Amino acid sequence: MQKLIETRIEIDEKITASEKLPETMILYTMDADHFVITVKPLKTLEERALTRTRVEVTSRQNKYVVKLPLKIYNFYHLDENDYTVMVSNKDPTTIVIAI
C-alpha cells in the first residue's frame, strides 16, 4: 500500500495582519532553502526564481491551507523538515517559507 502524502502547508491567518489571501497565489522557488508565495507577480522574483507556479489557497479554522505541487513538496522534503513562515510588514500578503 502506498503512503498518502499531504502536499500542503498551513499558515496562521494572524500572520497576514488581517489581509485576506486570494484563492490562487503565485509560488516562486528561490533556492534549496526558500520559497515565496505572493498575490501578484513581483519583478525581482520573476528574474531570480528557479520556478514559478500557481497554488491554491483555502481558509480553514483560522488557518490558510496552501496546496503545493507534489514536486515542490518533495524537493523541500516538507514531510521531514520543519519550516518557518515569515511575512513583510510592508506587504503581509508576500509570504516567505524558510526550510
Q: What is the pLDDT along the chain (99 residues), one digit of tens a residue?
A: 455 555 899 999 999 888 899 999 999 999 999 999 999 999 999 999 999 999 999 999 999 999 999 999 999 998 888 999 999 888 899 999 999
Residue 1 maps to a domain? no
- Tell me how many domains the chain contains: 1
Q: Examine residue 67 and state whether it is found in any structural domain, yes or no.
A: yes
On whether the CB atoms of residues 64 and 21 are closer than 8 A, the answer is yes
Cβ–Cβ under 8 Å, residues 49 and 29: yes
Give domain status of residue 45, yes or no: yes
- Full residue range of the structural domain in which residue 15 is found: 8-98
Asked if residue 2 is part of any domain, the answer here is no
Please state, as a whole number, how many other Cβ atoms lie within 10 Å of the Cβ of residue 98: 12
Please report the pLDDT score of residue 5 as a whole number: 58
Does a structural domain hold residue 65? yes
> Considering the domain boundaries, does residue 60 fall inside one?
yes
- Global pTM reads 0.90
Asked whether residue 42 is domain-assigned, the answer is yes
